[in-house]
Amino acid sequence: MLRLSRSEESVGAAHRAKLAYVYVRQSSPGQLRDHQESTTLQYRLIDRALALGWPRERVEVIDEDLGKSGASSHLRDGFQRLIAEVGLGHAGVVLSYDASRLARNNRDWHHLLELCSLFGVLLADSERLYDPGAYHDRLLLGLSGIMSEAELHQIRMRQHVAERQKAARGELRLHVPAGFIHAPDGCVMMDPDAQVQERIRLVFAKFIEIGSAQGVASYLRSRGLPLPRRPLRGPAPHALTWRDAEPQMVRQIIRNPAYAGAYVYGRKRAAPERRRPGVLAPTALVPMGQWEVCLKNAHPGYIGWEEYMSNVERLADNIGNFCAGRRGAPRRGAAMLQGIVICGICGHRMGLHYSGHGKTPVYHCIDSEQIGHCQNVRANQVDAEVERLLIEALQPDRIELALAAHDQMNGENRLLERQWALKREKAQYEAERARRQYDAVEPENRLVARSLETLWEEKMRDAERVEQDYARWHAEQVDALAAAERTRILAVAEQLPAFWKEAATDERKEMMRLVIDSVTIDKSREQGRIWFAILWQTGARTEHVIIRNTANYDDHAHFARIEEVVRTLNAAGSLDRQIVDALTAEGIMNNEGRPFTTTTVSQLRSRWSLPTVKINGSGPCPERWPDGSYSAQGAANAIGVTVLTVRNWLQRGIIKGRRLGPRLPWQLDLTDDDIITLQASKRPIGQPKRKAS
């Protein structure tokens, strides 16, 4: 007959030569506090080890995992220590009240069984002694592990169903963020501290104005306004702490539906894939459509649900320009339409890069790797035209814009004034409280009196420092608003284009996004032209076309007309200057968007092998032209020098001249006095230069 377990007499001397390990664990701090009898029973396993023949000094108790779940060995230092001791061959027997105390998942449980089997370690619970190396014992231990894991699953299911039903009624007590507290009757109410309320309201107000969490955090830090935080860990009730504003803190406030008065259950899920050192239970946000419970208007809120949805959408839109469907927050750089440009070919949002040592912004299709190259469009021309159209659209409302800007600045100063008032009141209260504590102590109690006196002095210095900071801030705000800012605001009302040019690039980007939703660009519709459509925030859509700069004239929008004008006028004997005047009269620019010059026309003639038109046809140049100016040869004859000398004087600027085009004769303006002066300064023809003595 096969034995199903070992008796106590089967413990050999080889086992007793090693240590006996008693593993003690409770799943949570609540169980450790409320179920002390279970902990006591586990510690009594020491007596069982003594009964098996181990002396007390050879029995080790591992109780580092009290208050930790057995669902995983992660962060269970005690269990990991036990595994290490078994693997090093130090253990003769491992005692635990039952299998669930050692592990609640089969991976950890079978890992322990395998090590105990390899090193001949016995396992004992409150009833039996097992040898993991024996088949039937190993079978029983495996079944115990399976039952332990199944039991954990059942416990979790019952807990979740109960929580879900209670949360569906809005009765499950959930953690509330800073700005809220639980009333004595269990309801959620706003924090009675006015400073906390005003600081939370300021975050939402500035987010509407600035539009990014990074901008709000920078605004708060620059003005010395920390944010309230309520820690999640530690004994309740959790006291508020104040910390310097960080972008992540602002994002958490914006994303939290509790500030919109909503009761939400299932907003986060466990995220073991994010596990890293120092993080006990990593979590991830669940999409709004997958929230298990969402009860709107469940308690007072700082904002409405519509504003909350708008803020969340804007926050998601700020993640980055390279995310499909998101335009991102305005970034640094010269490109005005960054993040709101859409490719007119494939319909995807276009990215941005800078070429030419980072000086020239270029919009490019970010999905070109998947569907092939769409297009690259230089930003300068498009940005300039969109800015012109924007200013033109805003002209009728410039007075209203100026007044709105003035009201906004006044409102911002009122918000900051309120924040300073609360800060001053808080500092004065702390100082007064320290004074009352000092007055309440008995004078004979010198030790306590000295400490309270030091605390009182510190609070008084803090209150004085706050008053000084407020006075300095108030003086700066009054001066700026009364003089510079007010003058600038009034100037905007009359000179909106000038203000637009003076404004910083970031400010112009923000103003542009308030008016324009997106700009769709396509440069492939027409040769040498950029077609773009502006979708305004009002829902209106306008289409426009501009002539784009090209690398060569083959892609020029007016290439055919340019060639026709140059060939026709050249054949008719027109000079390059006359061709330039004809092209300018028709409003045709060169490939770089600049007016034509005689040099450009000469290059085009050379490209098309057209001859140079002479002023006097094919004959020699006359000494004087019809307008009275001299040719180079005529000036040389009049002065009595060589033509080479005349050209040298031209290069040195001694005489002035002009020519109607490249490789055309010179026309020199010389008066009789100029000729006499030059004759006096010349050397006789054929006379050698004097050598320096």
Distances (CA, A) of 191 to 243, 244, 300: 17, 20, 11
Q: How far apart are the first and last CA of the chain?
A: 135
Q: Is 27 a catalytic residue?
A: yes
Q: How many other β-carbons are positioned within 10 Å of the β-carbon of residue 567? A: 15
Contact 286, 248 (CB under 8 A): no
> How many degrees, rounded to 5, is the angle at CA 422 between CA 418 and CA 423?
115
Helices (H), 97-212: 99-102, 106-119, 135-168, 194-210
**Residue 14 token pair:** 């080889």
The two beta strands, 283-285 and 268-270, are antiparallel
- Burial class, 49, CB count within 10 angstroms (exposed 0-12 / middle 13-18 / buried 19+): buried
For tokens 């190993």, what's the residue?
138
Rounded Cα–Cα distance for residues 496 and 580 (Å): 36
Q: Quick check: 86 and 114 in contact, CB under 8 A?
A: no
Instruction: Write the CB contacts of 393 (distance below 8 Å, at least 6 apart in sequence).
Output: 515, 536
What span, in angstroms and rounded, lies between the C-alpha atoms of 373 and 513?
Answer: 28
Map tokens 């069982």 to a residue.
Answer: 48
Chain center to CA of 602: 52
* Exposure b/e, 137-176, CB count within 10 A at least 16 = b: bbebbbebbeebbeebeeeeeeeeeebeeebeeeeeeeeb
Residue partners of 107: CB distance under 8 A and separation at least 6:
none
Q: Three-state SS for 336?
A: coil
Q: Copy the structure tokens of residue 648.
A: 């040298």
Tokens of 601: 């026309």
Catalytic residue among 27, 100, 148, 518: 27
Asked if 580 contacts 566 with a C-beta cutoff of 8 angstroms, the reply is no
Q: What share of the chain is helix, strand, coil (3-state, %, to 5)?
A: 50, 15, 35
Which residues are designated catalytic?
Answer: 27
